[in-house]
Copies of this chain bind each other. A is one copy, B any other.
Amino acid sequence: MRAVVYKGPFKVDVEDVPDPRIEHPNDVIVRVTSTCICGSDLHMYEGRTAAEPGIVFGHENLGVIEEVGQAVTTLHHGDRVVMPFNVACGFCKNCLAGFTGFCLTVNPGFAGGAYGYVAMGPYTGGQAEYLRVPYADFNCLKLPEGQENEADYALLADIFPTGYHGCELADVRPGETVAVYGAGPVGLMAAYSARLRGASQVFVVDRVPERLAKAEEIGAVPIDFTAADPAEQIRDRTNGEGSDKGVDAVGYQAQGHGTDGEQPAAVLNALVQTVRPTGALGVPGLYVPADPGAPDENAGKGMLLVAIGKLFEKGLRVGTGQANVKRYNRQLRDMIARGRAKPSFVVSHELPLDQAADAYDKFDRRVEGYTKVILRPAA
């Protein structure tokens, strides 16, 4: 089959690779109809991880079941399904507690697995014609038949639940004000989720005009952090209080306010300033324990200088970690199916698989409006 293969820094090709096959009775094989390029794919693409050439990318996958392992009980040939980016077993201590992003079974020696990602287990990515899905009864979420809402449902694999997870980590409740740092796809999904959960006002902080415009479109208040200190801008709009809650949808590759270059803790520290005492921070944005491209030695080991004194004085709570997609994808699917949510407003391109190399290049350079790309292998 055809698949997107990593060839080395800044290079992917669409190549022939072996077809996946049923390896375990609980597997299914899915014919992929939609598979998104994720911001986190770019970490590998840019050569900023330990990923070796040859890996097939793709952890945001939706498709139609082609083949069913003999132990699978509730799935059938032809079912349309979307898979969380996390691979999970469904029965370990963490899965049972709802922490399916930290499964103890699928990636021995580490808590958590994923498709097509370095160090996340032996699961080939889905930017390809077919995908093997383990523990299929658990990992497949059934979708309505047909092709309706395809782009919306594709976002259930990762960024819609990840944005929602940011709100869950921050315990966003009806009536609250929320500051979301980052207006990339995850930040926009976090802002959108905050609205769906009843936030009375959502601020979205970024510096890219197009992204801020997108935030405004969904009812959020755009905050351009190049214009003035974003914490101050938000305090000014909340009677000097600060927001009730905050979401970090940026992570360690943050740009500081009023500086050049990466400042890995810039967003965390800005949130400590932004959120009012007794508030909470949700951190779905990625931080890593080892970063070869870090600006300094400590950051290279994931050690960041954080305003702990102020954070404690304010009595803030902080929730972190990658999304447990399985915990949210059913209810978010139902919101899409019943017309309550339409997250595909973030999708900028839907392209055939063969255009993957070009799409990676443009998405990485953030040119020509490449904000969120869906590849359509079956198109």
What residues make up the interface of A, taking CB atoms closer than 8 Å to B? Answer: 24-26, 69-71, 73-74, 89-94, 96-99, 101-102, 105, 111-112, 137-138, 169, 173-177, 196-201, 252, 264-265, 268, 276-278, 283, 286-291, 298, 301-322, 326-327, 330-332, 334-335, 337-338, 340
C-alpha spacing A318/B304, complex, angstroms = 16
Given contacts A111-B276, A175-B334, A311-B320, 15 further A-B contacts (CB under 8 A): A24-B71, A24-B73, A26-B71, A74-B91, A74-B92, A90-B90, A176-B334, A198-B198, A200-B334, A201-B340, A288-B313, A289-B307, A290-B309, A303-B305, A315-B321
What DSSP secondary structure best describes chain A's contact surface? loop
A71-B25 contact given A313-B288, A317-B317, A330-B93, CB 8 Å threshold: yes
Set of chain B residues within 8 Å of A302, measured between Cβ atoms: 307-310, 313
C-alpha spacing A187/B23, complex, angstroms = 48
Q: Is the CB of B330 within 8 A of A312?
A: no
Set of chain B residues within 8 Å of A289, measured between Cβ atoms: 307, 309-310, 313
Question: Chain B's nearest CB lies how many Å from the CB of A293?
Answer: 13
Closest to A305 in B: B303
Closest to A286 in B: B312
When all copies of this chain in the complex are counted, the total is 4
C-alpha spacing A303/B87, complex, angstroms = 37
Q: Is the CB of A111 within 8 A of B314?
A: yes
Set of chain B residues within 8 Å of A286, measured between Cβ atoms: 312
Question: Chain B's nearest CB lies how many Å from the CB of A152?
Answer: 13
Set of chain B residues within 8 Å of A319, measured between Cβ atoms: 317-318
Offer 13 A-B interface pairs, CB within 8 angstroms, sorted by A.
A74-B92, A74-B105, A96-B326, A173-B331, A174-B331, A287-B312, A302-B308, A303-B308, A306-B308, A312-B320, A315-B321, A315-B322, A317-B318
